[in-house]
Homo-oligomer: A and B are copies of this chain.
Amino acid sequence: MQAKEAAEVEIIRLLKAGKDSYISGQALSAALGVSRTAVWKHIEKAREMGFSIEALPSKGYRLNTSADAPFNGIEVSSGLETGFIGRNICFYPSLDSTNMKAFELGRQGAPEGTAVIADSQTGGKGRLGRRWESPAGANLYTSIILRPGIPPRHAHNLTFLSAVAVAETVERFSPVRPTVKWPNDILLDGKKVAGILMEMDSEPDRVHFVVAGIGVNINIKVTAFPDRLRPMATSLYEKSGKETNRAVFTCVLYSSLEKWYKVYREKGFLPLMEAWKGFFASVGKTVTVRSFDSVIEGVCLGVDDDDGALLVKTRAGAIERVVSGDVEIKRDGL
């Protein structure tokens, strides 16, 4: 969270840890190292931010966990278990695009792990210059700043890293196992539940920072999608039939990202690729790959372990390595 809300985050974290029991104002005051009046002001602020906090003069404060929790930076921060991803959260009710904002913050020197979250986006961006539908109150739109200290030619590694983290997180909340569509769309039963847009700021020989932009359709109903997207899009809600707490989802996602980022830094790309392939279901399928200047049709043979390039065998028998493009999977969907 932003530093100015640090006390509110700590109070909510303590109240959550106390489950449904009351915590005295004195205990909170001692834990935070501030006066009881200050505690009271922070409680008021947290209430304004949407938290249902009960107070009894003789007992203290209690978080009413049966009430709907708000979705904001305090709620996410108070549930975080990461070391650096999301330790600096910038939450906005609405943004043009979380990637735009994260990029700005990155240019200004924001630390690694800084996360931007918006409840809605007016100009949400997808891959290849496409729009990402971003209505309020339902989904997750977040962008995380990473500073991996790698050359740009390795930046694609982080595409696969993000896909693994998102797929793994979706798997935790979905009754259906997700699959990945090369390189980093996440599908449930062949329909898109999440997308990733990686952008980076670099010199030709070193990356200054990468922004991993992640959009996940969580509680949106398919009927709320524009007509053209309905046949291709789905959400966790559509598959599970119930609402998922967005803050909880976000915390699990950030933990997963951090875990795989550490694996990548310590052991390189190969373990990521192995995990990614566990979600990849296109081998043997007929695919059409459209890139800037070509269309390749053929059978998907798999991916190159070194760099994740898609391997496609054309009808003429040639094996094409695809490093960029948009994949369409023919027949049986995913």
A residues adjacent to B (C-beta < 8 A): 100, 103-104, 107, 127, 149, 151-153, 155-156, 158-159, 197-206, 208, 292, 323-325
Tell me how many chains of this kind the complex includes: 2
In the complex, chain B residues whose CB is within 8 Å of the CB of A149: 292
In the complex, chain B residues whose CB is within 8 Å of the CB of A100: 107
Contact B202–A202 (Cβ < 8 Å): yes
In the complex, chain B residues whose CB is within 8 Å of the CB of A159: 204
Give the complex CA separation of A197 and B201 in angstroms.
13
In the complex, chain B residues whose CB is within 8 Å of the CB of A292: 149, 206
Contact A203–B152 (Cβ < 8 Å): no
Give the complex CA separation of A200 and B208 in angstroms.
10
In the complex, chain B residues whose CB is within 8 Å of the CB of A155: 152, 202, 204
Contact A324–B205 (Cβ < 8 Å): yes
In the complex, chain B residues whose CB is within 8 Å of the CB of A156: 204-205
Shortest Cβ gap from A293 to chain B (Å): 10
Q: Identify which of B104, B127, B151, B205 contacts A203 (C-beta below 8 A).
A: B127
In the complex, which residue of chain B has the Cβ closest to the Cβ of A293? B149
Contact A151–B197 (Cβ < 8 Å): no
In the complex, chain B residues whose CB is within 8 Å of the CB of A202: 152, 155, 199-200, 202
Residue of A100, A103, A204 with most partner-chain B CB within 10 A: A204
In the complex, which residue of chain B has the Cβ closest to the Cβ of A100? B107
Shortest Cβ gap from A163 to chain B (Å): 12
In the complex, which residue of chain B has the Cβ closest to the Cβ of A149? B292
Q: Identify which of B153, B199, B201 contacts A199 (C-beta below 8 A).
A: B201
**8 closest cross-chain pairs (CB), A and B:** A205-B324, A152-B152, A156-B204, A155-B204, A153-B153, A198-B204, A159-B204, A200-B202
Starting from the known contacts A153-B153, A197-B203, A202-B202, 16 additional A-B residue pairs (CB-CB under 8 Å) come to: A100-B107, A103-B201, A152-B155, A155-B204, A158-B204, A159-B204, A198-B203, A198-B204, A199-B202, A199-B203, A200-B201, A200-B203, A200-B204, A205-B323, A205-B324, A205-B325
Give the complex CA separation of A205 and B292 in angstroms.
11
In the complex, chain B residues whose CB is within 8 Å of the CB of A158: 204
Shortest Cβ gap from A162 to chain B (Å): 10
In the complex, chain B residues whose CB is within 8 Å of the CB of A153: 152-153
In the complex, chain B residues whose CB is within 8 Å of the CB of A208: 199
Give the complex CA separation of A179 and B209 in angstroms.
32
Shortest Cβ gap from A182 to chain B (Å): 12
